[in-house]
Structure 1
Amino acid sequence: MKNNIAFKPLTLPNGVELKNRIMMAPMTTCSGFYEGSVTHDLIEYYQARAGEIGTIIVECGFVDNKGLAFPGAIGLDNDEKIEGLAKIAQVIKEKGSKAVIQVYHGGRMVEPKLIGGQSPVGPSAIAAPRPNAPTPIELTPEEVDAMLDKFGQAVRRAIQAGFDGVEIHGANTYLIQQFYSPNSNQRTDKWGGSRDNRARFPLAVLDITHDMVKKYANQDFIVGYRFSPEELEVPGIRFDDSMYLLEKLAEKGLDYVHFSMGAILRPSIVDTQDPTPLINKYVAMRSDKLAKIPVVGVGNVINQSDIDAAIDNGYDLVAVGRACIAYPDWINRIEKDEKLELVINSDQREALKIPEPLWHFSLVESLIRDVNLNVKKFKPGSYQEKVNDESYEFLINVELGKDFIKDMQLVNAKEFDYEVLDNFSVIKNRIIDSNSPHVDAVSGATTQCEAFKKAVTKAMAKSNKAAILAEGGDPNDKSYDIVVVGSGGAGLAAAIKAHDLGANVIIVEKMSVIGGNTNKASAGMNAAETKFQKLKGIVDSKALFYKETMTGGKNKNNPELLHYFVENAPDAINWLDDNGIELSGLTTTGGMSVDRTHRPASGAAVGGFLISGLVKNINKRGIEVMLDTSVTEIVTENNKVVGVKVSEEDGSIQIIKAKAVIIATGGFSANKEMVEKYRPDLKGFVTTNHKGATGSGILILEKLGAGTVDMSEIQIHPTVEQTTSYLISESIRGGGAILITQNGKRFVNELDTRDKVSADIIKLPEHYAYILFDQQVRDENKAVEEYLSHDLVIQANTINELAQKLAINSAELIKTIERYNQFVIKKQDDDFGRTTGMRHPINKGPFYAIKIAPGIHHTMGGITINTQTQVLDTHKNIIQGVFAAGEVVGGVHGANRIGGNAVADIIIFGIQAGKQATDYING
């Protein structure tokens, strides 16, 4: 090995000897308990990685319960945490490594939902420059002093827990960095203004750290400092600012300083014309005093060559991140001269002692490779694509290797601001790491991210065709066992099930985005007698579920389909869970008398969560997805399916050969002409559906002779924000919200069936209402954060203030809420007979209201099928080889769909379609 020095001891300024110069970088695991205490999984995780490595830097511990910047963070905020933290320190030290823990406060980077809906704090009341960032509350001078004490007490707890040291987290735009930044700190007192004043806070944190070390530890206790060298913001921290602060810190005494960067040799992100690595600038600019303090490099260190590069360029210590997750014995492997690839086999989580939340964290999940992954073949080269979102045109170069996505460059990057560039960087990394364009978008930048992903999809299609031509094949000669038409929940579930049963499957989607209308689902998935209900002590029965669904559907539901639906709902919940999609949270919706609506435990909207999970399963299996491709016809010969005719985005027509077809194209709520044909009374209503819900699958199947049922049964959803067509989830009412009129009065049982609630809103003189709720409902429903981010919510600290904002008589509104609260206490609604979702009084501010009215939401009618999901013709005969699932099908929901039944429908019958289509082709 070239730089054996990295594996030799290093003595820190305080006299402590590290057995080697390798550190495990601090990495977010999201694996603590909800209140920040240590889990057994965390202890095992650190224990597995301790031993050969010199020092393990444990992930950051928040110093205050308003300071956690991510879920599952661990805390240093009270003495009760010491016992658990001591277990981490103990297992690391017992194996011979030094144990250091970061101390931090997230400041303005804290999401309100992580701290009970409260506003975060910061040096100034200035929001972070990112979409939908909350505005923090400026800390008073007294609160700044108190915050310093909290840092000191956190250091004391780290000492008492047995750690060998602390790393002061002055990076990643957290609170300490916020105080030093001229962007986030615009105070006029002694803590702000000049660079010296802004440096007071980080220096004071170091002072109180030293005080605690003197009082509770000894000179062997290690004190490090992590810093982000630059900020993109204007004004913002520049490299000479960082050097100035580091010199000040060095004068007070540090044992190491730790760059926080994504690559050890990263150049400036501000002066993009200068390719000089920042570490070279650091070495050239530092004083003799600072030069005596070891400097740590971090970022994409995987192999010996990366260590060599770090040491050669001036780093004294090297911190290793993801490689330590993938290889707990990383040092042993490097010492054996192994050449490592940064991947983790999908069956290795337990063996590698990786906690479940960390396994699903994006930086780790991107490393996971399914042991059975099939990779598409490309002709290596660079492919330039032009794509657009709502505002911009992007020119993107996509570089492909033989069987992988190698790189992406935004050719016209200079035309865009840092937010666009950041979004591109995030999506680029997700795509390259997962070797697929089908990755989650950045929150708040969906259309932009979809454009980036589309460039990759188009490049892959061109390259794949070129690779086939180079081998003498015909790129238009596509042949599969099963074609799945539509990429919503039903189509994805069908494709996954069919693949797992051995079928060769392709998904064809006419839109540019995977997910269809399922992306918009919000409430959850209904099922009775599930393991998650039993864990929570909820008594339910399939018989009751059947009865209430039949009643809600006005007894028009197809009994055979409904029986299959109810009987197989628990198995569908388990199937999702087995595939890493856990719906363990429970609530209720209108028409249900029991908490049987399963949703993410976090309270997040079910749709995006479900599609994200299903797409990850599609990626792991290497199932091909064709986007921007419309199926125009199912091709048959001698009454037997032989394929589908498709039209691609460029207008080219081709036949995809197949033995069976599964239609999962959704309903027709976004097809105004079709809606008005069957329901003229709904002319002019907005729809909650995405623009692809045009009924194309119904029309294709009708050409084949398929029958339809209940086509005039079109559901309107009662709570739709009219200017954006945004659906306000039924889980909000299920969580305890009420509906009020412009006069401030309730007028309906809020959790009656959707048709009845919608009808009562339409009867109001104003034809609209407000959904009203308090902080307790917000805390339990993450969908509210999305509504807030889209400016759909009116918010006030008191009911009186809310009434004023809504132009409602405050006395009347207060009277209405007080009366409702009495009903909640006695669990009896004397006015409207509400029996469910009365979880707590509406009495905890802030208070919220959203103006709503009905909108077209679901088409209960559609193609006729049997319980095997086989499509039936107009005479109820089976059309061989053609299957259908999801909203394209009629009969399941009758005259009215119960909230939470659509997601159940798509998964239950999607799984069944995948199974039955596979049985058919093997028959």
Structure 2
Amino acid sequence: MDYSTSPLFSPLTLPNGAVLKNRLMMAPMTTCCSFHDGTVTENQVEYYRARAGAIGTIIVECGFIDERGPAFPGALGIHNDDCIEGLSLIANAIKEKGSKAILQIYHGGRMVDPKLIGGQMPVGPSAIAIPRPNAPTPIPLTAGEVEDMVQKFGDAARRAIQAGFDGIEIHGANTYLIQQFFSPHANQREDKWGGSRENRTRFPLAVLEISRQMAKQYASDDFIIGYRFSPEELEVPGITFEDSLFLLDKLAIAGLEYVHFSMGYTLRPSIINTDDKTPLIDKFVQMRSPALSKIPVVGVGNVVNRSDAETAVEHGYDLVAVGRGCIAYPDWAEQIKTKDDIQLSINSDQRINKIIPEPLWRFPLVSSMVREISTKKFQSGTYRQTVKDDYENEFVINVELGQNFIKDLTLVNAEELNQVSVKNFNEIKDRILAANSPYVDTISGATSQCEAFKKAVTKAIAESYRVAIIADGGNPDEKTVDVVVIGSGGAGLAAAIEAHDKGASVIIIEKMPIIGGNTNKASAGMNAAETKFQEKVGIVDKKEWFYNETLKGGKNKNNPQLLHYFVEHAPEAINWLDAKGIELSNLTTTGGMSVDRTHRPESGEAVGGFLISGLVRNINQRNIDVMLDTSVTEIEFADGKVKAVTTIDEDGNSQRVNTKAVIVATGGFGANAEMVTHYRPDLANFVTTNHKGATGSGIALLQKIGADTVDMNEIQIHPTVEQKTAYLISESIRGGGAILVSQNGRRFVNELDTRDKVSNSIIALPEHYSYILFDEQVKTENKAAETYISNGFAAQANTLAELAHILDIDPETLESTVARYNTFVEQKEDKDFGRNTGMRHPINQAPFYAIQIAPGIHHTMGGVTINSNTEVLDENKQVISGAYAAGEVVGGVHGGNRIGGNAVADIIIFGIQAGDQAAAYSQKA
């Protein structure tokens, strides 16, 4: 269809006479880049200016109308008159380009995170939390406060008028305050503002009425007032589509210029009655009242191309709002006039050109569209790969490569597979195409299958490289880089990133089929003292304390030179991660530490997956090659220098990689039972928490070129390991307030003593196992606990007595034990075992949980010897030129026992140092 005949580009007159020049709107999407007080930044003004012009109307992101109303960081404010000046800059920037400027107004209600409002609790219609994990319970508004809130919406409407906007959109969707008042789940008031459906319409109607009063008093007759709504709620009881029509009819009678569906897809059917596939817009057209039929309706969701918008109009929408398309293409309305196939992707180097503010760029909505542009050149074509998962399921995949990007993936044998496998493939495909990389996060619960899909892509890329090298007359069995990193755990990835950033060409070689190594299994956090995150929450800590406690925990066997470097550079490593988008700002403690210095993700999730995901994102951004399923068989050392490494892949292909420096970051040997028992016969038959690649191969490689080793018999067992699966139960659970009880129902140790002491205490019990016991509050504050429970590790009960029966423990004894511990928490003194950390809350919030645990092999403190420059040393303590090592492959850092949280610190601190030193060496060599 010629765009000139498309209904999208015809004008529309609203009920009040306002004329929109076309049917296209830019949907309201937060940029997250306002100042801390909600005032406008220059970035926002330029962002909207760039997107105005061809599009008929821009609905500016929602402005919070009250100080307790912002629902996200960097939110735009319209809560006081100081906001008017900045808002006028946005309005003028849009209107000067010829588009209408509408401002959305809202209050987050019970959706507001207390952290965004100075620790205050959010407000809502009733004291009912939104049914999401860790959601705060709102403070119910009094009748007088409801009246005040209506007035605040009116004041916001006045400010929008004074700022020069052409209209406002009342945000009655997305489970924010206005929707909460209409929701039978959120609003269970007994006054005139709640109860019956009729009463629940009072608040949105009052907001509309006061907005109309302000428009009549301060604006021209063509001032636009729209209303956005979410048609259904999943909560029970929740808003039904019939409820929404009831409300919209009343709003239409009161006077509106448009109503705006809030959905992820314009043609979305019911989310309640999933058997009915009829698009809600079709139902809306059929069921709307005479009054409502006179009000234009706006559709939004998954509109990318002109055909998407035209299909929406065909189903009954009068206007179509576009979100991601307008982010990816500031001139989207112009683009669709000539292009029929717009792709929702943004090249990673285009943020500034497309005038996308940095906070918005990092927002998941946008980051999912960012395609990393590779400097490598693929040989264009389609490469068929056959791969299998751990269950011998076979997948035939066509990988289509463009010259510098992954163009498409096709699951050739999809018809032979179940629907879940096909669904998983499609989701991983989307992630790979968006990242332009196979190194993306897997789907929870489908790791093996996802790794197979990703492997097909890595094999196709490798094949493409070989074809391209041969086409250029080169030798595909030989390549040259400045630095080779062996191992892709946290230490290897940190080293590769730092070496790249210091100007070196880098390649990572990993013998396993997946990135991450043992770091994937890390759960507690990263220890560091005197950090900005500790300072922010008022935690007083000293590097000296950190040093002394680590030395004590390591039985005074730690290498002082390495330990000093470790402690001094820990806060810098925290900042290094933060600068790369990997924020570890949530604080807890682990055994052997006296203060909260264990840094972890703000969400409370396990640190390992979070860390690897963030580091891989940085690897992708830098286009650092990763060779998976490839083992290094030899480090070539001649004339006193590292010359090359020899590799072999899973198909038996050998390759020589010329290099000036090698960083070995292959981890320890905790999964090598023969090696463990060689050094520690007493640990025979212990389960191991290590991934199967932790075999000590890097130690052997370095020993071949003369490396010395230290502390090889120092092998740590972790006290809390689920024995059937060898799954480690994080120390953060005990640090969060859990206790250990024996089969007789009593505590027997300071749960946060060092790991060796706690492990030995468990082994000394008659049954050689114990239970880690915690309550709902500990679970809520530690996301790892949810994983343990979902995996079936935990017994669960609503009372301690019920839990005791499940565990075959005397109920009175267990209740007495917990009651005694709770008194210690209140007194901040453990009179039985001297515990003085992690006593955060009494254990008294049902349900209660218990996991049976016993010690397992966890960490090998011994390894090759290095100096504080991470240079590998020979038996005479002389540097082996060009050889560096970091992480668990190294000995000496942790001495005779590793403190929980120190391993993650170790891999990042010394990984950064290895990358820095290897890059500098390679540039001089």
TM-score range relative to shorter protein: 0.7 to 0.9
1:427 Cα shift? 2.3
How big is each residue's C-alpha offset from its partner over 1:342-401, in whole Å with a ceiling of 9 and x where there is no partner? Answer: 426569579957363x4333332244467x963442323353443425484333322211
Of stretches 428-437 and 630-639 in structure 1, the one that deviates more from structure 2 is: 630-639
How big is each residue's C-alpha offset from its partner over 1:26-54, in whole Å with a ceiling of 9 and x where there is no partner? Answer: 44768899xxx985589974894276565
> Take 1:721 and 1:539, find their aligned partners in 2: how far apart are those partners?
35
Of stretches 331-340 and 565-574 in structure 1, the one that deviates more from structure 2 is: 331-340
One-letter identity of the residue aligned with 1:580: G
What residue number does 2:553 align with?
Answer: 552
Q: Quickly say closer, same or farther: Cα 1:279–1:732, change in 2 above 3 A.
A: closer
1:327 Cα shift? 6.1
What residue number does 1:862 align with?
Answer: 863
How big is each residue's C-alpha offset from its partner over 1:665-704, in whole Å with a ceiling of 9 and x where there is no partner? Answer: 1011111121122112112211111121111111222233
> Take 2:681 and 2:350, find their aligned partners in 1: how far apart are those partners?
55
What residue number does 2:600 align with?
Answer: 599
Query: Secondary structure of 2:911's partner?
Result: helix
1:435 Cα shift? 0.9
Query: Secondary structure of 2:659's partner?
Result: strand
What residue number does 1:165 align with?
Answer: 169
What TM-score, normalized to structure 2? 0.79
> Take 1:267 and 1:829, find their aligned partners in 2: how far apart are those partners?
58
**Unpaired segments ≥5 residues, structure 1:** 117-126, 137-145, 185-199, 232-236, 270-275
Q: Quickly say closer, same or farther: Cα 1:243–1:548, change in 2 above 3 A.
A: closer
Please say if 1:796 is aligned against 2:800.
no
Please say if 1:616 is aligned against 2:620.
no
Q: What pairs with 1:734-749 in structure 2 (closer than 5 Å)?
A: 734-749=735-750
Please say if 1:99 is aligned against 2:103.
yes
1:503 Cα shift? 0.9
Please say if 1:683 is aligned against 2:645.
no
Of stretches 756-765 and 562-571 in structure 1, the one that deviates more from structure 2 is: 562-571
Conserved 8 A contact 1:92-1:98: no
What residue number does 1:516 align with?
Answer: 517
Q: Quickly say closer, same or farther: Cα 1:800–1:264, change in 2 above 3 A.
A: closer
How big is each residue's C-alpha offset from its partner over 1:312-343, in whole Å with a ceiling of 9 and x where there is no partner? Answer: 99764232222444566766998999999842
How big is each residue's C-alpha offset from its partner over 1:61-85, in whole Å with a ceiling of 9 and x where there is no partner? Answer: 999xxx99x9869899xxx989999
Query: Secondary structure of 1:771's partner?
Result: strand
Of stretches 707-716 and 818-827 in structure 1, the one that deviates more from structure 2 is: 818-827
> Take 2:654 and 2:692, find their aligned partners in 1: how far apart are those partners?
23
Conserved 8 A contact 1:469-1:475: yes
Q: Select 1:11's aligned residue among 10, 13, 16.
A: 13
> Take 1:342 and 1:248, find their aligned partners in 2: how far apart are those partners?
38
Q: Quickly say closer, same or farther: Cα 1:409–1:228, change in 2 above 3 A.
A: farther
Conserved 8 A contact 2:379-2:465: yes
One-letter identity of the residue aligned with 1:166: I
Conserved 8 A contact 2:104-2:169: yes
Q: Select 1:343's aligned residue among 342, 346, 350.
A: 346
One-letter identity of the residue aligned with 1:670: A
Query: Secondary structure of 1:668's partner?
Result: coil
> Take 1:427 and 1:46, find their aligned partners in 2: how far apart are those partners?
36
What residue number does 2:629 align with?
Answer: 628
> Take 2:824 and 2:509, find their aligned partners in 1: how far apart are those partners?
51
Conserved 8 A contact 1:705-1:874: yes
Q: Quickly say closer, same or farther: Cα 1:392–1:266, change in 2 above 3 A.
A: farther
Query: Secondary structure of 1:318's partner?
Result: strand
Conserved 8 A contact 1:725-1:855: yes
Q: Quickly say closer, same or farther: Cα 1:73–1:159, change in 2 above 3 A.
A: farther
Query: Secondary structure of 1:882's partner?
Result: strand
1:554 Cα shift? 0.8
One-letter identity of the residue aligned with 2:488: S
Q: Quickly say closer, same or farther: Cα 1:419–1:38, change in 2 above 3 A.
A: farther
Conserved 8 A contact 2:104-2:171: yes
Q: Select 1:317's aligned residue among 316, 319, 322.
A: 319
Q: What pairs with 1:104-503 in structure 2 (closer than 5 Å)?
A: 161-162=156-157, 164-166=168-170, 169=173, 209-210=204-205, 213-214=208-209, 217=212, 222=225, 224=227, 253=252, 294=296, 296-298=298-300, 316-326=318-328, 342-343=345-346, 348=351, 352=355, 354=357, 356=359, 358-368=360-370, 374-381=375-382, 383-388=384-389, 390=391, 392-414=393-415, 419-503=420-504
> Take 2:599 and 2:469, find their aligned partners in 1: how far apart are those partners?
45
1:515 Cα shift? 0.8
Query: Secondary structure of 2:572's partner?
Result: helix
Q: Quickly say closer, same or farther: Cα 1:721–1:71, change in 2 above 3 A.
A: farther
Q: What pairs with 1:686-725 in structure 2 (closer than 5 Å)?
A: 686-725=687-726
1:921 Cα shift? 1.7
How big is each residue's C-alpha offset from its partner over 1:843-894, in whole Å with a ceiling of 9 and x where there is no partner? Answer: 3343332222111110111112222222223343332222111101111111
Conserved 8 A contact 2:232-2:244: no
> Take 1:845 and 1:41, find their aligned partners in 2: how far apart are those partners?
45
Query: Secondary structure of 1:673's partner?
Result: helix
Of stretches 447-456 and 209-218 in structure 1, the one that deviates more from structure 2 is: 209-218
Q: Quickly say closer, same or farther: Cα 1:918–1:587, change in 2 above 3 A.
A: same
What residue number does 1:141 align with?
Answer: none
Q: Quickly say closer, same or farther: Cα 1:288–1:744, change in 2 above 3 A.
A: closer
Alpha-carbon RMSD across the aligned residues, in angstroms, is: 5.3
Query: Secondary structure of 2:636's partner?
Result: strand
Please say if 1:23 is aligned against 2:25.
yes
What residue number does 1:187 align with?
Answer: none
> Take 2:151 and 2:722, find their aligned partners in 1: how far apart are those partners?
51
One-letter identity of the residue aligned with 1:574: N
Q: Quickly say closer, same or farther: Cα 1:738–1:891, change in 2 above 3 A.
A: same
> Take 2:86 and 2:310, find their aligned partners in 1: how far apart are those partners?
31
> Take 1:83 and 1:785, find their aligned partners in 2: how far apart are those partners?
45
> Take 1:513 and 1:157, find their aligned partners in 2: how far apart are those partners?
54
What TM-score, normalized to structure 1? 0.79
How big is each residue's C-alpha offset from its partner over 1:438-462, in whole Å with a ceiling of 9 and x where there is no partner? Answer: 1122334333332222222122222
Of stretches 23-32 and 846-855 in structure 1, the one that deviates more from structure 2 is: 23-32
> Take 2:755 and 2:890, find their aligned partners in 1: how far apart are those partners?
20
1:504 Cα shift? 0.8
Conserved 8 A contact 2:31-2:44: no
> Take 1:402 and 1:229, find their aligned partners in 2: how far apart are those partners?
45
1:770 Cα shift? 1.7
Conserved 8 A contact 1:250-1:293: no
One-letter identity of the residue aligned with 2:23: R
What residue number does 2:806 align with?
Answer: 805
> Take 1:730 and 1:708, find their aligned partners in 2: how far apart are those partners?
29
> Take 1:470 and 1:202, find their aligned partners in 2: how far apart are those partners?
72
Conserved 8 A contact 1:156-1:216: no
What residue number does 1:526 align with?
Answer: 527
Of stretches 660-669 and 206-215 in structure 1, the one that deviates more from structure 2 is: 206-215
Query: Secondary structure of 1:99's partner?
Result: strand
Query: Secondary structure of 1:547's partner?
Result: helix
Query: Secondary structure of 2:780's partner?
Result: helix
How many residues align? The count is 867
Q: Quickly say closer, same or farther: Cα 1:547–1:244, change in 2 above 3 A.
A: closer
1:759 Cα shift? 0.3
1:60 Cα shift? 8.4
Q: Quickly say closer, same or farther: Cα 1:41–1:779, change in 2 above 3 A.
A: farther
Taking every aligned residue pair, what percent have the same amino acid on both sides?
56
Q: Quickly say closer, same or farther: Cα 1:279–1:584, change in 2 above 3 A.
A: closer
> Take 2:536 and 2:250, find their aligned partners in 1: how far apart are those partners?
57
Query: Secondary structure of 1:811's partner?
Result: helix
1:640 Cα shift? 3.1
1:102 Cα shift? 7.9
**Unpaired segments ≥5 residues, structure 2:** 96-100, 120-129, 136-140, 161-167, 186-194, 216-222, 272-276
Q: What pairs with 1:27-46 in structure 2 (closer than 5 Å)?
A: 27=29, 39=38, 45=44
Conserved 8 A contact 1:302-1:342: no
